[in-house]
Amino acid sequence: MIALEMTEVEEGVEEEESGGVHLPVVVWRQVVGMVDLETQAVLVGVSGELQDLVCSLWRSELGRVARRLGGAHTHYRAMRRDVVMGCVLGEQGPLHSLHPASLHSLLHLHHTLGRPNTHQGGTYEFFHDYDRKRRKQLTLHQKWPRPGSKTLHRFLENNSDLACLEVSDCRENIESVHFLTSHCSRLEALRLFATDPLLPYLEVPRLQRLRYLEIQFDSFYREHRDDFLHGLGGLPHLQVLKLVTCYGMTDLQVASLLEAARQLEVLALPLNSKIDGWCVETLLHGHQDTKVRQLSLTINTAYTSLLTALPQPYADTLIEEGKEQGITISVTFLHKKLPSFNPKGFCHSDTCSY
């Protein structure tokens, strides 16, 4: 017989005449903490003492999760977990009042969000299951079925609080992307690939809660590109901005973003821009009030002139200066023309949640 001793025991284990072994709480906490979540869930039903102990561990872990919320994560999967957990924990109320089943559900969600998606490209996901409420996140890797106004409004009725959206092919989902970015004003993390070069996507800069934006934005119209980039500077909570492609973007527009987006911490600049790299010097020597701590830049001489580009030796010097200021700077030099304008396929990268 093994019983749970609810007081501290100096020797750790006590033998009684009955032959029972009493382990102190501190030992049980170590033992229970070493097993996985599902095993802990089984232990909850063994005894009231074990239930109290397991729930105490769960509350402690969820408390640590809650304290880490709000950070700027470089990868979408980490930001998605942060955003979704923040929304769900905010709805559940104080941890001390939650039932064991609710605590288990929250931890299971946290662990699930941290894993890569396991479905394959051929697996069909029923996003038109409109009766499912409060999804918090939506990942579209295929065309939305029958994307009419009626079906989209039905989805919105149950999911107006959608917080994370990822679309691997926006050209195949023009109606749904426009609808969701226009009506789901609580979006905090957004990932859009293969956007339509004819559309301005001005709904995106109006998402005032947006913290993470990763987008492939090549436009046929210079005005669309300029208006879009200018609008991003007005997002008050934007922490991570990753511009996968943005044909024609310049150093001046980067400097404008650095000055306007005061909460920006991570900035990744496009592969196919006209950026010469002098924006790095502006960041370090421009005396701007910025929180940027990570800057990734590609100087692609297929789109800009080598004669006007930042010299590589000077780039190395600026990288070292950035380290002294606590800023991680990455500058990549290459000469690579994309196979087409605004091509598909960028979603299938190592950091893609798909």
| CATH class held by domain 137-334 | alpha beta
Virtual torsion, Cα 173, 178, 184, 188, nearest 10 deg: 80
Q: Which residues contact 95 (CB under 8 A, 6 or more apart)?
A: 59, 62, 63, 66, 103
Instruction: Give the residue with greater pLDDT, 170 vs 21.
Output: 170
d(CA 247, CA 341): 9
Share of the chain above pLDDT 90, in %: 47
pLDDT at residue 18 is higher than 50: no
* CA distances, 134 to each of 59, 91, 138, 155 (Å): 23, 11, 10, 10
348 closest CA partner among 156, 120, 133, 182: 120
In which band, very low, low, confident or very high, does the pLDDT at 24 lie, cut at 50, 70 and 90? low
Contact in structure between 283 and 277 (CB atoms under 8 Å): no
Residue 215 DSSP label: E
> Which residue, among 354, 205, 344, 216, has the nearest Cα to 272 in the 3D structure?
216
b/e burial code for range 190-207 (CB count within 10 A of at least 16 → b): bbbbbbbbebbbebbbeb
> DSSP letter string over 14-53?
EE-TT--EEEEHHHHHHHHHTS-HHHHHHHHTT-HHHHHH
CA distance 2 to 296: 57
129-153 mean pLDDT: 77
Q: How confident is the model at residue 117 (pLDDT cuts 50, 70, 90)?
A: low
> Identity (one letter) of the amino acid at 260?
A
Compute the distance between CA of residue 354 and CA of residue 342 in angstroms, rounded to an integer: 20
C-alpha Rg value of the chain to the nearest Å: 25
122 pLDDT tier (thresholds 50, 70, 90): very low
pLDDT average, residue stretch 184-199 = 95
- One-letter amino acid of 219: S
Residue type, 251: D
pLDDT higher than 50, residue 1: no
The β-bridge partners of 24 are 5
Query: What is the chain's length?
Result: 354
| Number of Cβ within a 10 Å radius of residue 295 | 23
pLDDT the model gives residue 129: 57
pLDDT of residue 179: 92
Using pLDDT thresholds of 50, 70 and 90, give the confidence band for residue 115.
Answer: confident
Question: What is the rounded average pLDDT of the residues 313-335?
Answer: 94
- pLDDT surpasses 90 at 332: yes
Q: Residue 25: CB partners within 8 Å, gap ≥ 6? A: 4, 5, 6, 7, 8, 53
CB half-sphere exposure, 316, CA atoms < 13 A: 2
Residue limits of CATH 3.80.10.10 in the chain? 137-334
Give the pLDDT band (50/70/90) at residue 310: very high
Provide the whole-model pTM. 0.84
- Using a 10 angstrom Cβ sphere, with 0-12 exposed, 13-18 middle and 19 or more buried, the burial of residue 125 is middle
What percentage of the chain has pLDDT greater than the value 70?
Answer: 81
Question: In the predicted model, what is the mean pLDDT of the chain?
Answer: 83
67-111 pLDDT tens trace? 888 888 999 999 999 999 888 888 887 887 888 888 888 888 888
